[in-house]
């Protein structure tokens, strides 16, 4: 069973590890995604930051933060990164994070 919940301070290290592992071999990554999440958190700019747990282990993470739109539209948010440990990918966990649903794992 996948549990989706808000991040807590005790999750920060696990979130970095999950994000790093998720993008480590991605062909379009420069492997800085974990630093982006940490910078957004440090800037108090993570509007939504959720983790996915399986058996009490953080296996996924999703972040939403405010973005500026060129026409000065207000209240827009960017998604990303969304990360799932490689061994848990393709099991619906990313979808669970995005839609905040629970899928069996």
| Residue 105 pLDDT > 60 | no
**Closest among 45, 31, 9 to 83, alpha carbons compared:** 31
Domain parsing of the chain, residue ranges: 2-99
Alpha helices (runs of H) in the chain, residue ranges in sequence order:
12-23, 33-42, 93-99
- What are 10-33's pLDDT values in tens digits? 999 999 999 999 999 898 898 999
Domain 2-99 fold is: Aminopeptidase (3.40.630)
pLDDT in tens, 46-68: 999 999 999 999 999 999 999 99
Task: Tell me: pLDDT of 103 over 80.
Answer: no
For residue 20, what pLDDT is reported?
Answer: 97
pLDDT class of 45 with cuts at 50, 70, 90: very high
């Amino acid at each position: 069973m996948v549990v989706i919940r808000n991040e807590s301070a005790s999750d920060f290290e696990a979130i970095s590890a999950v994000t790093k592992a998720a993008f480590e071999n991605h062909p379009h990554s420069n492997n800085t995604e974990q630093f982006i999440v940490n910078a957004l958190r440090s800037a108090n700019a993570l509007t939504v930051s959720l983790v996915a747990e399986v058996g009490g282990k953080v296996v996924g993470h999703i972040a939403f933060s405010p973005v500026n739109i060129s026409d000065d539209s207000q209240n827009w948010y960017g998604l990303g990164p969304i990360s799932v440990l490689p061994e848990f990918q393709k099991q619906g966990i990313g979808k669970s994070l995005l839609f905040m649903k629970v899928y069996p794992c």
